[in-house]
Structure 1
């Protein structure tokens, strides 16, 4: 099965040795997104709400570049430096995803790149 590298200028450029996403057949593996503004490559971190919205906007941009949408995400991973923000993630996630929701894990971590408080990665299955 061939691999297709996915890239879009509507999401932040990779800040390391990885691709924004890789498509293998109908499955797309979306790399973790932190709240970087793709135009400025600066953190959008005035508030935790700003960070969460930017993370989902970045994921959406990569999903669309791969020919899909957030509705086709099968598995979502959420990484938080403070699990007290879990309820806020749920609230804002409801603005980006509808039922049936993807499978999901939320993990507390000690630190994230560039001082982000939230990061999300995903696996998407195209129809």
Structure 2
């Protein structure tokens, strides 16, 4: 699904981007503030891009959102950011494949991103 791939690509670029990755390593707290708060001026542009991708998938008949698109975009972005900023938050390395799979799960299409022969058991993760 294109939406999950776009979020995975975003996290991959954030981790390996020529200007962004060194900025995050050099000034992690500042990078976090700049990209995750309204005051930073970046968050709204990223959200607009995610909304546009979701809207395009909806218009093409490939996706029916279960949440308002603005809220869905916000949740997907925060999920991606959890992995992008994992070095700051948990000390773990960023992982764009976890972003893809997590976002795909939120979108209800995780099975499309799992390796062949690997499935999600019925009812897994449900309360």
TM-score normalised over the length of structure 1: 0.28
TM-score normalised over the length of structure 2: 0.28
Larger % of strand: which? 1
Larger % of helix: which? 2
Question: Bigger radius of gyration, 1 or 2?
Answer: 2
